[in-house]
Every structure is written in structure tokens, then in C-alpha cells.
Amino acid sequence: MGLKEQLNEDMKQAMKAKDKNRLSAIRMVRGAVRDKEINSKVELDDDGVLEVIASQIKKRKDALEQLRKSNRDDLVDAEMEQIKALQEFLPAQLSMEEIEAAVIGAIEELGATSMRDMGKVMGTLVPQLRGKADNSVISQIVKQKLS
């Protein structure tokens, strides 16, 4: 079963269970997938859907920070539940050690020695780690290793 079908099934289950936060999160993702498909005029495969889910999680984490700054504790819990619901659709996330090992491997493979080589290293790592690690974390580790 593809990710889109899984989203539809989980949406039905959330409706039956009356889980408003999960239902809201899934509906937002389905809407974002539909928008991306319409804008790009291409039907998204599972990798495309994973990208949309990851971007939705990132947006929600940013919103979570804003809610915390605004002392909106009532909305923070709901936002956290929605993030957890969406993370279930992502593949298992790599640990920092695993990401670091992949970064070191890519740096050695490419012979990267300075920050000028960061684009090459990121270009190699991002497709390998898509959906398994946040690009900002990858970037941070690459910067650390190249400097």
C-alpha cells in the first residue's frame, strides 16, 4: 500500500476514533499533497509524499516554537500531537551517530577538504538520507566536519 492510500486509511480510522488532532494533521498533509500535485502537474510517488510530510512536520515545529514564545500552552499540546501523528508516516529517523558516519563517508569519498566542497557533499548526502534525517541536521554536521 502506498503512502497516499495509507493516509486515506488512517484518516478513516481517525474519524471513527474521533481523534481530532490526528484527523486534522492527516487532512493538512493530504491537502498539501494535492496542492503539490496540482502545481507540479505530476502525481506524487511515495518519495514525493514523504517530502510533503517532512515539510509539514517542519512547519509545525516552527509553529510550535512560536506558540511556546506566545505562551499558548493550550495549543502547544495539540500541535505536538499532530507532529507525532505525522512522524508515524516517516521512515525511522537515523541517529546522530549514523548521520555523522554517512557525512564522514561522503567527505572521504568526494575528497572534500573545505567549506567550498559543502555543496558537493550535501548533493551526495541529501538523496541518500531523504526522509531519514532532517537536512538542517545534515548541513550542520557537514559544516562541523569541513571546518
Q: Where in the chain is the domain with CATH 1.10.1510.10?
A: 3-87
Given this model, what pLDDT does residue 113 score? 85
Given this model, what pLDDT does residue 94 score? 87
Distance CA 74, CA 78 (A): 7
Topology given in CATH for the domain delimited by 96-146: Arc Repressor Mutant, subunit A (1.10.10)
Given this model, what pLDDT does residue 130 score? 80
- Whether 89 and 25 have beta carbons less than 8 Å apart is answered as no
Sequence-distant (6+) residues with CB within 8 A of 86 are 25, 26, 29, 53, 56, 57, 60
Query: Can you list the residues of the chain whose pLDDT is less than 50?
Result: none
One of 1.10.1510.10, 1.10.3720.10, 1.10.150.20, 3.65.10.10 is the CATH number of 3-87, namely 1.10.1510.10
3-state percent breakdown (helix, strand, coil) of the chain, nearest 5: 80, 0, 20
Given this model, what pLDDT does residue 51 score? 86
Given this model, what pLDDT does residue 20 score? 92
Q: Where in the chain is the domain with CATH 1.10.10.410?
A: 96-146
